[in-house]
Amino acid sequence: MRILILAGSFVVSVPGLASASCRVANETKYSFTVESGNTSNQSVGSHTTTSIAAGKILGKSKEGKTVSGFCKDGDNLVIKEEKGVPILMPK
């Protein structure tokens, strides 16, 4: 931990606490509830683009469709449907 003194105020800077995220574009008709990194209950709606926590991804729709994969901070991913199966891939 670093402590910086600026004009008599204390500012605490803790490296590694910045939230890393990746963008996911969902091009399917399914909405997914996603767990990624250390974050659960993230929503990736149908035909939307959103940011989710970086890390291992596991998503499930209410219809029972699943997607999984991994993203690093700053990655851009897309969920597409091929032959009835949602697939998570780099955009």
Kindly report which listed range (9-18, 26-35, 54-63, 80-89) carries the lowest average pLDDT score: 9-18
Mean predicted confidence (pLDDT) in 45-73: 97
Average pLDDT for the chain: 86
At 30, give phi and psi (nearest 5°).
-100, 140
Domains of the chain, start order? 19-90 (2.60.40.2890)
Q: What is the pLDDT of residues 69-87, one digit of tens each?
A: 999 999 999 999 999 999 9
Q: Are 57 and 71 in contact (CB under 8 A)?
A: yes
CA 78 to chain centre: 11
Query: What ranges make up the beta strands (E) of 1-91?
Result: 2-6, 9-13, 21-26, 32-36, 39-44, 48-53, 55-61, 66-71, 76-82, 85-90
Q: What is the pLDDT of residues 27-44, one digit of tens each?
A: 999 999 999 999 999 999
